[in-house]
Structure 1
Amino acid sequence: MSEEEEIELDPEPGILIESLRDVGYSFNSAVADIIDNSITANSGNVSVFALPFGDGGFKVAIIDDGDGLDHDELLKAMRLGSSNPRLAREAGDLGRFGLGLKTASFSQCRRLTVVSRCDGDTSAFTWDLDTVVRSNKWTVIELQDVSGLFGVDELGEHGTLVLWEKVDRLTGENGAGRVDYERAISEAQDHLALVFHRFLGNEPGVPHITLRVNGRVVEPLDPFNVENPATRADSEELVCPGVRLRSYTLPHVSKYADKQEYERYGLPGGYLRNQGVYLYRAKRLIIHSTWFGLAKKTALTQLTRVRIDIDTDQDEVWKIDVKKTSAQMPEAVRKRVKQLIEVIGAPSRRVYRRRTANLTSRESYPVWNRSEKDEHVVYSINEGHPVLAAFRNELDDGQAKKFDSLMAFIGSMFPMEALVYDISNNSDNTSTEKMGSEDFADTVRTFFARMRQTSDDEEVLDIMHAVEPFKSRWSETVTALGIEER
């Protein structure tokens, strides 16, 4: 006789269903999870309506024109754990555990209704969490009349409506919370534009959908900005079966039409924060802006973004969670990406170093020299700079000695730590103080006079036109010299 006895322990419905609300969805990720189902159902159009009501409530309706579900299929879809995550999925199936519809919805609302039309028939079921808690039973409500439901008039001959009511996570219980609805909807729209950008665009091999939020078409937000001709894209690499990698270097700020466009592609938080790996599962973005602990985010690589595509059969290997918002990079991929980090960052470094090349080029007459001593990089004042040399030549021997000591003192106090910190954390807003017009004009005339001692006027002007600070203030330069440029 066996000493083991199997005892069935059913979970308490009222307790478990409340616990399922705290899986960790945000409003944005919950809406995205519902749209995953619409894409899997071959939808061409998806509409999201998220509107406050006069009673202080808030309702969200997500409507698609996909295949739809019949009565039995919809009832099965309403079951918690409606599919086995270990079973093979179709290549374009964005689902994972068969939990997303329910857990994403429960995380935001206390009443979930799904209406689906298929082959001329309409079916509808509701999960009401208050009913489950009160009865302590896994009970869904089948609706016979759906005519009064919010959003149902937008449902076509086939497709599905997912309706959230009692949206207490945004508004609080009984709508008591104060919510900036416009901001919440705007942030959700930006999130969807990024997460589904490959479906919203015209990428070959990716099914196209048109997504609207409160009637407004959502335009794709491509984090790699591939339409900008200044974006650099490396060749795609097959890292291992089911995993493909491609790195991109975004354009420098000077290559954008305006500041607004530059900031749009920087994404919330800016370029420094949003560098790193962008992980896609079946073309859907699930994680972005992380190096998975393989490298630090630095200013020199802030223009680098790496796209990694994984197939749906990689879910278990990558440990994709139910929210599809976290993953763990497998060791085989980590090793390969680690090898590529330096190569991946090189183009981004070149973009920034191109603009700072004048610091190290003799032909650019830098104020600061860069040299390497005993494996250390050393910055020192270039005492041979024409402006400094011209000033020194006007001094007597005693004054010249004091001037040299002053230059040595200033050079030794180069604020290296502060500069590295500021560039790493806020490079776009780190700059030198602009020289005043009068001081600039004096510098122009001094530089020109010094250089014409060894070169003719045309050669000096050519040099000045190519180096800073004269290059970026050329009209002021020629004005200070009293010449007209032909």
Structure 2
Amino acid sequence: MGELQLDPIPSVLIESMRDIGYSFESAIADIIDNSITAGAKHIQIEVRSEGNPAVAIIDDGDGLSRDQLIAAMRMGSSDPREQRSLGDLGRFGLGMKTASFSQCRRLTVYSSQSGVANAFTWDLDYVVETNSWSVIEQTNFQEVNFYNIFPSTGTVVLWEKIDRLGQQSSSGKKVTSSFERLVSDAEEHIALVFHRFLAGEPGCPKVDITLNGRQIDPLDPFNKKHSATILGPEELLPGGVVMQAYTLPHRKKYSSQKEYEKYGLRGGYQRNQGIYLYRAKRLIIHGTWFNLAQKTAITQLCRVRIDIDNTNDEDWKIDIKKVSAQLPEEARATIRRLLSRLSSPSKGVYKRMGAKQTTSASYPTWEIIKDSGLTRYAINRSHPTLLELQVLLNEDQTRKLSHTLDVIESGFPLDSLFVELTNNPETVVTPVIDEISFAAIVRDFFTHLKGQGIEEQTIIDQMRSTPIFSNSWDKVLRILGIKES
């Protein structure tokens, strides 16, 4: 039996390695993983967009000796089968190179340890030209980009010849992507993926990260600090995996629309419901039910945190980019059994909100009528505003008003509403009533109930529990000329 050695062709393989599928933000995150593993407390990301674009990720970690740096520049510098320390965010020993090559054609890594600095460069054009796995050693550091802010101890990953930020249009003209948008997306991605490190959560080393001098604040997808967030009990899955469900607050519990949208994350609440998988406290994948359930409007507030450590990589099929995973069969079976209980608080929030709209004391504009297993929505004919209007109408006009309400009810856009609530629930809003009309509604409502002999304080209490008024309560009091103690 003969043996034939087939070494990969450098100029071909290194170009293929660029297309593993990193985005700009996931490539940045992969470099940050190395910095955190190296014990960095401060990570500085500098993005230069003018002239020749360049990106530098600078940390104050342990740094690397010359031999360690050479090993780190080697393709496949560590064995994924070897046992790692629990805080090690690496996996294949390829991340720094593949992440960098996905964005640039020139990668320089500078590292300083014990006062001794070294730097090596992968230049893909040089690899193609020489057709060899050759790195270039840098000897004059002052000629390297960003040298004036290099750390005395730590590591710098520098991207130059960035060529993946644009694409060719049909006319052949190069269209450059917005660097500002990429930087903004990267900032949000880092705030989410590393939120437990940025917050200094127990069990995580506290890390500060800046982007072009701006501090990145943690973005907790579970909004644990909000008093209305519901925390479920921790569940233990096979393999020492820990799971916990969270139910986010309903939109009405937020102080502003901006705050509500912040925790909806990119794409909104419905898209981002589901499982949030963390490996060694670092977010790997989020907003998925792993085909165990559908994403519905009524479960959109449910998010489930699953924590694994780096000894679970093979079971969970963590990929090289650390952006995808697969549920092991044992975990899948357990989660499927628990799924109904995990999502029930989210359903309960919407049911309670619905109940508030239909309580008899709140005079709802619409009534929910259930009959013979069917549900329909009807205008509340006993609403004080309608009753006050009917006082002014004769019998024929009252009959025509009733027919008009029938037409409005029959045209209720149920199908359209269902589609919008399923796909874009945060965009469904109620119409805004102008100031003059609102004042007239307040006065008519109050006048009608008072004309029935109801005490003023009782009327005030009932109006306070009616959404159209409770949402603008200070305005209602001003219109009625009432001061509450």
TM-score, structure 2 normalization = 0.89
1:85 aligns with 2:80: yes
C-alpha separation in 1, matches of 2:167 and 2:381: 67
Q: For 1:237-256, what aligned pairs fall within 5 Å after superposition?
A: 237-256=235-254
Residue-by-residue CA offset, 1:172-198 (whole Å, 9 max, x unaligned)? 79x976343333223222221221111
Task: Calculate the aligned-residue CA RMSD, in Å.
Answer: 2.8
Confirm or deny that 1:65 pairs with 2:63.
no
Mapped to 1, the partners of 2:473 and 2:166 lie a distance apart of: 57
Map of 1:52 onto structure 2: 49
Query: Deviation of residue 126 (structure 1)?
Result: 1.7
Match of 1:99 in 2: 94
Distance apart, 1:477 and its partner CA: 4.5
Deviation digits for residues 47-67 of structure 1 (CA, Å, limit 9, x no counterpart): 2222135xx311222222222
Letter in 2 for 1:465: R
Partner of 1:191: 189
Q: Residue 204 of structure 2 aligns to which amino acid in structure 1?
A: V
Distance 1:119 1:443 in 2: 76
Deviation at 1:317, TM superposition (A): 1.2
Q: How far does residue 29 in structure 1 lie from its aligned partner after superposition?
A: 0.8
User: Among 193, 218, 221, which residue is 2:219 paired with?
Assistant: 221
Match of 2:470 in 1: 471
1:422 counterpart letter in structure 2: E
> Cα deviation per residue 1:222-257 (whole Å; 9 max; x = unaligned)?
222222333222222212223211122223344444
Equivalent residues in 2 for 1:347-426 (5 A)?
347-389=345-387, 403-426=401-424
Equivalent residues in 2 for 1:265-284 (5 A)?
A: 265-284=263-282
Q: Residue 160 of structure 1: which of 131, 155, 158 is its match?
A: 155
- Whether the aligned pair in 2 keeps the contact of 1:151 and 1:161 (CA below 8 Å) is no
2:33 matched to 1:42?
no
Shift of 1:384: 3.6
Secondary structure of 2:237's match? strand
Give the structure 1 partner of residue 13 of structure 2. Answer: 16
Give yes or no for contact 1:91–1:311 (8 Å, CA) kept in 2.
yes
Partner-residue secondary structure (3-state), 2:204: coil
Segments of structure 1 that go 5 or more residues without pairing to the other structure are none
Q: Which shows bigger deviation, 473-482 or 267-276?
A: 473-482
Residue aligning to 2:425: 427
Maintained 8 Å contact 2:273/2:287: yes
- Measured after TM superposition, the shift of residue 457 of structure 1 is 3.6
What CA deviation, in whole Å up to 9, does each residue of 1:265-309 have, x standing for no partner?
322223332222221111111112222222333332333222111
Q: Which moved more, 1:286-295 or 1:373-382?
A: 373-382
Secondary structure, aligned partner of 1:296: coil
- 1-structure distance, mates of 2:75, 2:344: 48
Structure 1 96/474 Cα, relative in aligned 2: closer, same or farther at 3 Å?
closer
> 2: CA distance between counterparts of 1:52 and 1:406?
61
Separation in 2 of the partners of 1:66 and 1:156?
9
Q: What one-letter code is carried by the residue in structure 1 that aligns with 2:224?
A: V
> Aligned partners of 2:200, 2:448: CA distance in 1, in Å?
58
CA distance in 1, matches of 2:61, 2:484: 65
Aligned equivalent of 1:139, options 129, 134, 140: 134
The aligned residue for residue 296 of structure 1 is: 294
2:314, 2:44 → 1: CA distance?
31
Structure-1-length-normalised TM-score: 0.89
Distance 2:412 2:94 in 1: 58
| Percent of aligned pairs sharing the same letter | 49
Q: How far did residue 324 of structure 1 move?
A: 0.6
In structure 1, C-alpha distance between the alignment counterparts of 2:226 and 2:137, rounded to whole Å: 51
Q: Please tell me whether the aligned partners of residues 277 and 308 of structure 1 are also in contact (alpha carbons under 8 angstroms).
A: yes
- Stretch moving more, 226-235 or 83-92: 226-235
Structure 2, unaligned stretches of length 5 or more? none
Q: What residue number does 1:111 align with?
A: 106
Pick from 283, 286, 300: which aligns with 1:285? 283
Letter in 1 for 2:114: D
Mapped to 2, the partners of 1:258 and 1:440 lie a distance apart of: 22
Partner Cα separation in structure 1 for residue 398 and residue 257 of structure 2:
46
Amino acid at match of 2:165: L
Aligned residues of 2:63 and 2:154 also touching (Cα < 8 A): yes
Change in CA separation of 1:135 and 1:369 when aligned onto 2, cut-off 3 Å: same
Moved more, 233-242 or 38-47: 233-242
| Amino acid aligned to 1:302 | Q
Q: CA 1:185–1:408 in 2, change beyond 3 Å: closer, same or farther?
A: closer
Deviation at 1:314, TM superposition (A): 1.3
Rate the CA distance shift 1:400–1:308 in 2: closer, same or farther, 3 A.
same
Moved more, 392-401 or 333-342: 392-401
**Match of residue 230 from structure 1:** 228
**CA 1:477–1:156 in 2, change beyond 3 Å: closer, same or farther?**
closer
Which of 10, 26, 30 pairs up with 2:27? 30
Whether the 8 Å contact between 1:46 and 1:65 is mirrored in structure 2 is: yes
Structure-1 separation of matches of 2:167 and 2:353: 51
Q: Distance in 2 between matches of 1:257 and 1:404?
A: 39
Shift of 1:463: 1.7
The 1:372/1:337 distance shift into structure 2, 3 A limit, reads: farther
Which has the higher mean CA deviation after the structures are superposed, 72-81 or 371-380?
Answer: 371-380
Equivalent residue letter for 2:41: G
SS in 2 for 1:286: strand
Distance 2:158 2:475 in 1: 63
Query: Which amino acid in structure 2 is aligned with residue 111 of structure 1?
Result: R
Instruction: Note the 1:335-354 alignment, pairs <5 A.
Output: 335-354=333-352
The secondary structure found in structure 1 opposite 2:221 is coil
Q: Please report how far the alpha carbon of residue 367 of structure 1 lies from its aligned counterpart in structure 2 after TM superposition.
A: 2.9
